[in-house]
Amino acid sequence: MEILNGKIVSQHIKVELKVFVDNLILKQKRVPHLAAILIGNNGASETYVASKIKNCEEIGFKSTLIRLNENVAEQDLIVAINQLNENDLVDGILVQLPLPPHFNEEKIINLINPNKDVDGFSPVSIGKMVLGMPTFIPATPFGVMLMLEYYNIETSGKHAVVIGRSNIVGRPMSILLNQSGKYGNCTVTVCHSRTKNIKELCMTADIIVAAIGIPEFVKSDMVKDGAVVIDVGITRVKDETKKSGFSIKGDVDFNAVSPKCSFITPVPGGVGLMTIAALLKNTLNAYIQQDKAC
């Protein structure tokens, strides 16, 4: 069993990005610029955005954080997004999800200029991905693909089971694994909460991507020997033995499943770090497109 170490892979990607930025600075050119909008003070969102900003600083990207009150009017959010859309010095825009309940997330995501949609959530980005065209890939699935590439994991002809069908992870993950390419060409089965024979399907999988949001959902008796297991889940679970009062759990029962695997991602330290690395790569790609357009 080998651990798919998100820290190692993400650091490798960040070093490559920093070299690119350092060369831009030597040429006295502007550096890539990521702008994030954070509404309210949801604890998890605060942590995610802070990590994104910190990673931008580490590799030399410029970053801007726009904070808005939880009760902000929709029109004020629209104005903030439009200002970023029109700013040629901003390459990537993300609106941190989830949004407060009085917002229509789909409507807000659609307001972001597709050329700056580094989260890869817009219908334009998703449509291009489905067609196999160059585009911004949703950061978490993109991060998984980068990890498969780094560890040179064979996917062609394999049976992949994706547990979860969200537009952010499960659905795009199934498309990417199925597409033609060195780290695609899988036969993909998508399972979800209504699938009646998940255990039996998982037992046939060479690759399992767990993104259902249920802590330790994938048990040892669901995984065949030698499988590759990618755990996308991350949930805070009450734990009185911890100083923080909680533990972080993935969607896979790691201790029970890992002895059966050829490769497995830990939680934390796996896919979460790759999500941010992929977001940074998307931002660089947006910068390159913008630079060519100028």
- Has residue 263 got a pLDDT over 60? yes
Are residue 81 and residue 148 in the same domain, yes or no?
A: no
Range of the domain at 211: 139-272
Among the three residues 78, 113, 148, which one is the final residue of a domain in this structure?
113
* CA-based nearest residue to 65, from 88, 38, 39: 38
List, for residues 167-188, the tens digit of each pLDDT value.
999 999 999 999 998 899 999 9
| pLDDT for the residue 10 | 97
CB distance 250 to 228 below 8 Å: no
Domain containing 70 — which CATH number? Answer: 3.40.50.10860
Catalytic residue check, 29: no
Domain containing 234 — which CATH number? Answer: 3.40.50.720
Q: Please give the mean pLDDT across all residues of the chain.
A: 94
Catalytic residue check, 238: no
Strand-pair partners of 237: 247
**How many distinct structural domains can be found in the chain?**
2
* Range 232-251 average pLDDT: 83
| pLDDT for the residue 292 | 65
Task: Tell whether pTM > 0.85.
Answer: yes
Catalytic residue check, 119: yes
- Catalytic residue, chosen from 14, 52, 116, 281, is 52
- Catalytic residue, chosen from 96, 117, 231, 249, is 96
Q: How far is CA 210 from CA 17, 21, 83, 243, 294, in A?
A: 29, 34, 37, 28, 41
- Catalytic residue, chosen from 117, 119, 206, 253, is 119
Confidence of residue 293 (pLDDT cuts 50, 70, 90): low
| pLDDT for the residue 290 | 82
Q: Percentage of the chain surpassing pLDDT 70? A: 99
| pLDDT for the residue 42 | 76
